[in-house]
């Protein structure tokens, strides 16, 4: 068996005030002055605090960048979803005559409350829409959206038409 390398001796000259602080610190921690000095020299020779702090800040900025990227994606999905819904709704919903329009406005509050309740349940239990949509939206899905919008504009396509995706 080989013996571990023996520590080497170093003699240094310290200012009396520094030597007193070293002795007090060693006594408080119940460590030898040599151990405290070795740790201090090791810390001094390792990457400095500014470099460590820069690494921590860089890591945090990278995390924030990823979060912002996800947020931009989620907002983009929401905007596109709303745009597709509005185009579909406008293309498939005829204007109501005035007596029917008044009745529809009267029923709108009740239907809105049902929507808010359903939305609350969806948000509480998940999964979220952003989790259901692939990160990589291919060109094929973009073409499918255009095809769906074209079909929605056909007069024979109703809101419950199975051809509408």
Stated pTM of the model:
0.43
Per-residue model confidence as pLDDT tens digits over 80-130: 999 999 999 888 988 889 888 888 888 888 888 898 898 888 888 877 776
88: number of Cβ within 10 Å: 19
C-alpha span between 28 and 26 (Å, rounded): 6
Task: Give the chain's mean pLDDT.
Answer: 81
pLDDT at 65: 97
Q: What is the mean pLDDT of residues 3-31?
A: 92
pLDDT at 160: 43
106: part of which helix (H) or strand (E)? helix 98-125
The dihedral over CA atoms of 111, 117, 119, 120, expressed in degrees to the nearest 10, equals 160
């Amino acid at each position: 068996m080989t013996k571990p390398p023996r520590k080497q001796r170093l003699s240094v000259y310290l200012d009396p005030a520094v030597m007193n602080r070293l002795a007090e610190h060693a006594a408080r921690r119940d460590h030898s002055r040599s151990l405290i000095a070795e740790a201090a020299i090791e810390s001094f020779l390792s990457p400095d605090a500014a470099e460590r702090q820069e690494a921590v800040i860089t890591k945090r900025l990278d995390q924030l960048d990823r979060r912002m990227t996800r947020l931009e994606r989620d907002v983009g999905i929401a905007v596109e979803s709303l745009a597709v819904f509005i185009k579909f709704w406008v293309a498939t919903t005829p204007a109501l005559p005035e007596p029917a329009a008044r009745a529809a406005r009267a029923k709108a509050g009740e239907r809105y409350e049902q929507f808010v309740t359903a939305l609350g349940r969806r948000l509480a239990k998940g999964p979220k829409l952003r989790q259901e949509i692939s990160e990589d939206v291919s060109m094929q899905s973009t073409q499918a959206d255009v095809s769906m919008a074209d079909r929605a504009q056909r007069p024979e396509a109703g809101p419950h038409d199975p051809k509408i995706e």
